[in-house]
């Protein structure tokens, strides 16, 4: 993989990442459920300096994660697509919402986080790396 790219639903905000992902993870926390409008959020973690934005700059929403630490949620001001998160608990990285990727064919999450908040009908595969809260 040479470059990761993606953007919002309306195309006003685009991004490129020049680095390989550090991690791919599924987060089941209640905040990710709300921000994704689904049972969980599929995320890729990349070095923040490797991400560049094109088109409109994303809008930010100051939030606190389940850990209680500050988060900056990035989204499109036009269509509302959730694009990325920067977390004080994870300095130097950006968490990109995998649903915004142009090419998802390579995506294979390697861990589940906040499984204690997972919807009861969500099946986490046997043997998966999983944490009841954030990563230990």
Q: Which pLDDT does position 82 carry in this prediction?
A: 96
CB contact set of 131 (below 8 Å; sequence gap of 6+): 111, 112, 113, 114, 115
In a domain, residue 130? The reply is no
In CATH, what number is assigned to the domain containing residue 106?
2.170.150.70
In a domain, residue 123? The reply is no
- At 1, the pLDDT band (50, 70, 90 cuts) reads low
> 33 pairs with which residues across the strands?
none
For residue 2, pLDDT beyond 80? no
In a domain, residue 135? The reply is no
* Nearest-angstrom CA–CA distance, 9 and 76: 9
Please compute Rg for the chain using Cα positions. 14
In a domain, residue 67? The reply is yes
In a domain, residue 29? The reply is yes
In a domain, residue 122? The reply is no
pLDDT digits (tens, 9 = 90+) for 50-77: 999 999 999 999 999 777 889 999 999 9
Q: In which domain, by residue range, is 47 found?
A: 4-117
* Nearest-angstrom CA–CA distance, 112 and 128: 7
Distances (CA, A) of 119 to 27, 33, 40, 93, 123: 11, 9, 8, 27, 9
In a domain, residue 73? The reply is yes
Q: How many domains does the chain have?
A: 1
Of 94, 135, 110, nearest to 4 by C-alpha is: 94
pLDDT digits (tens, 9 = 90+) for 110-123: 899 999 999 999 99
In a domain, residue 71? The reply is yes
pLDDT digits (tens, 9 = 90+) for 4-52: 999 999 999 999 999 999 999 999 988 889 989 999 999 999 999 999 9
């Amino acid at each position: 993989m040479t470059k990761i790219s993606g953007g919002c639903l309306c195309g006003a905000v685009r991004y490129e990442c020049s680095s390989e992902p550090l991690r791919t993870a599924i987060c089941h926390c209640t905040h990710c459920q709300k921000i994704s409008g689904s049972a969980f959020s599929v995320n890729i973690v990349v070095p923040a300096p490797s991400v560049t934005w094109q088109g409109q700059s994303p809008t930010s929403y100051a939030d606190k994660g389940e850990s209680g630490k500050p988060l900056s949620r990035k989204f499109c001001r036009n269509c509302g697509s959730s694009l990325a998160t920067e977390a004080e608990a994870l300095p130097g990285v950006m968490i990109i919402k995998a649903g915004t990727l142009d090419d998802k064919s390579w995506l294979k999450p390697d861990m589940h986080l906040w499984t204690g908040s997972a919807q009861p009908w969500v099946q986490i595969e046997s043997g998966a790396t999983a944490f009841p809260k954030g990563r230990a």
